[in-house]
A = this chain, B = another copy of it.
Amino acid sequence: MASKANGYHHGNLRAELLMAAMDILDESGIEAVTIRQVARRVGVGHSAPANHFPHKQALLTQLAINIFNELGSLIKSQLQSAPEDVSEKISLLANTLVEFGLAKPNQYRLLWRRDYLDNSSEELNCAMDIIYDELLATLASSKKSKVSVESKAIALWSMIQGYVTMRIDGNLEAKNDEVSGQERQQAIIEVLLRGILS
């Protein structure tokens, strides 16, 4: 790609490794993302990545950070052109998260595979918190009730996380009955919304 084409030194290896890793992730899932496979795709020796990522975990963590950031941007842009109504806002946010997960299942999965990631990475946790904070801010304008905003946020955050995970893993297929995914998605958001707003 945008390499210096001098033969030995690549010039842009770190970025290209990340791109190749993302491609493999999308195509074949996290299990297929191996250091050696990524190196092969970029056309470089199997030990070259070590200069840019000390271990596999570091590469995957950076990948997850990038995914969180992209998802965060998406949510922000969606919310900017959002209606004033609180429940519509919450619904939009939830739908954006679900749609992202369904559209890019392998990327979404990686976000929650903390066994593959460096949990102590500040950057990773910040990238995640940006999304969570968006959720908190949106919920903050809902009617005060016995239940705290934090609890509402965690309830919503949890339900979305669980729903998407089960959807993309095929755990809900047999339970969809006559209802389409779209309707179900709308319905469960509505259930929680009712609890949040009451």
Chain A residues with CB under 8 Å of chain B are 29-31, 112, 114-115, 119, 125, 128-129, 132, 146-148, 150-155, 157-163, 165-166, 169-172, 174-175, 177, 179, 184, 187-188, 190-196, 198
- Give every chain B residue within 8 A of A148 (Cβ-Cβ): 179, 187
Q: Which residues of B contact A174 (CB under 8 A)?
A: 125, 129
Q: How many copies does the complex hold?
A: 2
Which 8 A/B pairs are nearest by Cβ-Cβ distance?
Answer: A195-B195, A162-B162, A161-B162, A158-B162, A151-B187, A158-B163, A155-B188, A194-B195
The answer for the CA separation of A175 and B128 in the assembled complex, in Å, is: 12
Which residue of B is nearest A148, CB measured? Answer: B187
A163 and chain B: residue at smallest CB distance: B158
Q: Chain B residues near A158 (CB, 8 Å)?
A: 158-163, 166, 188
Contact between chains at A166 and B177 (CB < 8 Å): no
Compute how far the CA of A118 lies from the CA of B22 in the bound complex, rounded to whole angstroms.
26
The docked-state distance in angstroms from the alpha carbon of A169 to that of B191 is: 26
Contact indicator B162/A179 (Cβ below 8 Å): no
A124 → B minimal CB distance (Å): 11
Closest chain B residue to A159, Cβ basis: B159
Whether B114 lies near A169 (C-beta < 8 A) is yes
